[in-house]
Structure 1
């Protein structure tokens, strides 16, 4: 069966006008996976934030109960004195001024998350225009600016998710894989939802969570009852 036919068949299983319970959505997201690999289970949360206001940007992190199965490449920016600690903890890329300079010159990044220490933030400011738009700039809310590098690296390896609302006021995150058990997926979904709710801007009036959608990689969206 072609990819187009598989997607058409999967879409036929989902009623786009209906909001499903979490139990139903987890069952459906597995049934509607159309790819031949172990697809990611993604959540997309549309927020009622004012995207023109900087204080309405939702940014936080959460350690999910179960691993999402995705290995992320962790970069640590620090002084030479802290490099051994980062190496021992298992960081994939470690560097200081020379690494910052390389990013400045090439504009390229080959990591999924960046961690730094408070004393190194001044140096990081020079690559903010490169890392910022990619959601990779370390910041206190996501706990990627820290004095405890070992703890930060270990939590990320265990599946800590850092999330940020985009220019449309939507938060995207992969919370698992279709191969995971139903209860594990539901636990991750619940933890992620709770974290997003806790990150609600204090200044926000009106509805915060407008819609929640669950989908597998390249699969149809499944609306979830909040």
Structure 2
């Protein structure tokens, strides 16, 4: 065999050995190597409360602003704008919309009010009172339409006794609750201590009701109320709105009534229905968000 053939055979054996080594499964555990471990993500260190608060403030600054923020007006400016829009409709009505949050455990906001200047003639409530003895006589003299004891329960269930408001003395609330709770409860008419319709001063409650109207929010916590007429002076419109907002804030817990808080414990206070937006509108005018509500 010539020298060239021997050299070629040696090179082929060397190449075949190299290929055989490459085909073998590597024994080195690459997933535990220092290079791979260095590339793995490290857990960020736990932030303190102060650092978390600073991070939240930065995020809030970068968050997009509400599109309605630039459309807010003061109450006086909003009234003037709506008066200009409705200049051809002097009998148009201002409508106030108050949006509240319905948090867990909160009830539908509800209450009564008496505007400084009424927008329309008030409807008279038909009052039914559960009372006996002296309380029943005082309720009749105060102007109650139907007064009686447990004998009225059957008439309410059958529909013979119709009323828009039900009052009850403390002595009779337990006997009537099992039978009337399912009838009056879904309609929001069941006497309740929280709403003040269960009381021993029934005559005083009826006297306070005279000349007042009821307001009530919907299931989403939105309150809509006609608040003034277009021909009212601006001062009267503003006075009506300020008064009604004060009533709503006290009823929803946004403003504490010192007279009520002095008689109640802090544990019995109602949860707050936070007011998120206050809007003023008319039939043909835009809905304007109030900045100084």
TM-score class, shorter-chain normalisation, is: 0.5 to 0.7
Per-residue CA deviations over 1:177-219 (Å, capped at 9, x if unaligned) read 6676654443332232123223238655xx9212223456x77
Per-residue CA deviations over 1:33-58 (Å, capped at 9, x if unaligned) read x99xx8876543221222xx3x2115
SS at match of 2:238: helix
2:160 paired with 1:93 = no
User: Could you say which structure has the higher strand fraction?
Assistant: 1
| Long gaps (5+) in structure 2 | 1-69, 255-269
Matches within 5 A, 1:117-196: 117-125=169-177, 126-159=179-212, 161=214, 163-173=215-225, 175=227, 182-196=234-248
Contact 2:97 2:278 (C-alpha < 8 Å) held by counterparts: yes
Aligned to 2:276: 210
Find the structure with the greater CA-based Rg: 2
Q: CA deviation at 1:169?
A: 2.1
* Residues in 1 aligned to 2:188 and 2:113: alpha-carbon distance in whole angstroms: 18
- Number of aligned pairs? 202
Q: TM-score, normalised by structure 2?
A: 0.53
Aligned to 2:66: none
Q: CA separation of 1:210/1:96 partners in 2, compared to 1, >3 Å: closer, same or farther?
A: same
2:127 paired with 1:75 = yes
Q: TM-score, normalised by structure 1?
A: 0.66
* Residues in 1 aligned to 2:92 and 2:151: alpha-carbon distance in whole angstroms: 37
Instruction: Say what the alpha-carbon RMSD is for the aligned residues.
Output: 3.9
